[in-house]
Amino acid sequence: MKKFRPFTWALTGLVALFLFLSFATPKGKSAFRDLNKNGKMDVYEDKSQSVDKRVEDLLSQMNLEEKAGSLFINGTLINEDGTIEKKEGAQGFAARLPSSVELMRDKKMNHFNYWQAPDVKELAIGYNAIQKYAEEKTRLGIPVTIYSDPRHYFSNNIFAMAANSFTQWPEQMGFAAIGDAKLMQQFGDIARQEYIGVGIRGALDPMADLATEPRWPRISGTFGEDAKLSAKMIEAYILGFQGNQLGATSVACMTKHFSGGGPQKEGLDPHFEFQKGQVYPGNNFNYHLIPFEAAFKVHTAAIMPYYGIPTDQTSENVGFSYNKDIITGLLRNKYHYDGIVCTDWGLVTDTRMGPVVWPARAWGVEKLTPEERVQKIINAGVDQFGGESCPEHIISLVKSGKLSEKRIDESVRRVLRQKFILGLFDNPYVVVDNAIATVGKAEWKKVAEMAQRRAMTLLKNDNKVLPLATGKWKIYVRNVDPQVAAQYGTVVNKPEEADFAILRLNTPWVPVESQNFMARGFHHGDLDFKGTLKDSIIQLLKTVPTIVDIYIDRPAVIPEISSLAKGLFADFGASDAAVLDVIFGKVKPGGKLPLELPSSMEAVRNQKEDVPYDSKNPLYKFGFFWWRKILILN
């Protein structure tokens, strides 16, 4: 047997001692992340301490610049290779923004939302790179909170972010059509896991607004016009994302847009200067609060007010985030809400887009300077500024004595508290392989795709022509992928050759006259088909028995189409395969209309913006589905 030499024994002993010292910790102590690089465990770095103690310790160490930076959220990007620095020649809207590194270094910011993001692997890599910079390069190592607008909907709407590999479900309106709170909560739970996989810890949703004005461009993001239905779905949505209590496995919901953005005058949206106020001709302000009350019940982590002025509802006609009666009087005092309140994006600073200036949404206070706008928003009771990177205004206001640092501390406490509760100070990183394995799991995609089908709402089934038999008919398709349609029947090139036509349509809209490309992209205007487009649709319906599916992102006005179609469906975000599966009977449609479809544009113009289901003689009433009609007739 080989003998150990004295040197070997000594080396072995040193290794053992090193391992002991590395892994053994004094009683009551634990390993910690030395975020402020001072070689000792501060209270805010000690996960055994209470959240309140950790918040107060960190707050006491923060300087004014760091406090101010914590109160701003703005968009950033991750490059296609997962890097986070800006690249020369980069393309896209977000490429014109400062990088997260610049904002962390120069503005002391630690909240971002992605306006341009790659696929899952690179998204996770980029997220870790952001957290690594925050930990290693900032003075106190405060972790970053990443927010996102919805990324889980099958949608071409301007508000929907790129889904990439995330599961694709119907839009909120589709969940309202299904009306299943358990499914809504399951969606939230799956979306939560996918978000956490790539480091997204804040959801800029759900929308609790009510679709009482049919022309409003943001209806697809709502749960329709009924307050009780919306409240039921809001509660389930938030429980899915946050759980019964916000914690380390939650995604924090920022419910919007308090106190209800639906009743826009003539449907024009206050993202833009041509609409600065919403109206209440039916004296129905309180109706729009009902879904938010459901959000408060399940402790939504944050609230976002909208842009517009609640005309003549408060002591001054200023936008919601500038409005102390709304934020402090109603939200803080009446509802005792103590979570984060964050403005909608871009209330302070004008945005230049080439030759066009997009004014800040400072409605009612346009004459105030940007610094004065910040002061008024803070004084109203708001904590954070969305879509802004101007902490220098808060610094200036405090140094000049116009704002107290004590008031700023109130908001910073709320922001830090959420970060601690989410567990970001203890481990903000994600495992890239886990992200790849989690996002878009096959079993989750199956549930999401089934939801697209369930949400479809059958409005007409003339002579019970539906469902069609698979493989039996010659079919002509318009606005449907012929290769997908070929799996259901023989696709022909002319309607005259077909037994049936299948036509997919989008609810009509009319671009506003504006040089602002964002304004032109919003679905404003009349809801009925006109001119040559309408003529071509009617001609097809008269040529061959036609099954029509229409995407309802706003309530379409379709009396002639409904009259001539043999079958008529409403969808709320669905693939061609989903629609065809329903038409050909592979899946039964399960939706009920979450809003009424008006009979005419005259009826739309005569209804009240703040009142639900009030257009005269609607073509299809709220809650309608064809099976219900048959049951009533029988």
Residue 567 — φ and ψ, nearest 5°?
-140, 145
At residue 622's C-alpha, the angle toward residues 620 and 626, to 5°, is 55
DSSP letter (8 states) at residue 345: S
Q: Residue 249 and residue 445: Cα distance in Å, rounded? A: 21
Per the residue annotation, which of 344, 528, 571, 576 is the catalytic one? 344
Q: Is 116 helix (H, G, I), strand (E, B) or coil?
A: strand
Burial class for 429, CB neighbours closer than 10 Å (0-12, 13-18, 19+) = middle
Helical segments of 459-552, H only: 482-485, 517-521, 531-543
What DSSP line would sit under 618-631, residue for residue?
-SB-TT--HHHHHH
Active site residue 57: no
Helical segments of 138-171, H only: none
User: Which residues are CB-neighbours of 383 under 8 A, at least 6 positions away?
Assistant: 71, 340, 341, 342, 410, 411, 414, 415
Separation of CA 231 from chain center: 17
Q: Are 29 and 41 in contact (CB under 8 A)?
A: yes
Of the candidates 216, 78, 173, the one whose C-alpha atom is nearest the C-alpha of residue 525 is: 216
Sign of the C-alpha dihedral computed for residues 562, 630, 225 and 171 taken in this order: negative
Q: Is 267 helix (H, G, I), strand (E, B) or coil?
A: helix
Which single residue is written with the structure tokens 């704002």?
403
Structure tokens at 232: 């039921």
User: Within a 10 A sphere around the Cβ of 316, how many other Cβ atoms?
Assistant: 11
List beta partners, residue 546.
Answer: 501
Q: Are 368 and 328 in contact (CB under 8 A)?
A: no
Residue 514 — φ and ψ, nearest 5°?
-160, 150
Burial 264-293 (b: 16+ CB within 10 A, else e): bbebbbbbbbebbbbbbebebbebbbbbbe
113 to 165, 492, 571: CA distances (angstroms) = 18, 46, 29
Q: Are 187 and 240 in contact (CB under 8 A)?
A: yes
User: Which residues are CB-neighbours of 369 under 8 A, at least 6 positions away?
Assistant: none
At residue 43's C-alpha, the angle toward residues 38 and 46, to 5°, is 95
Q: Interhelix angle for 181-198 vs 227-242, to 10°?
A: 40
Instruction: State the catalytic residues.
Output: 344
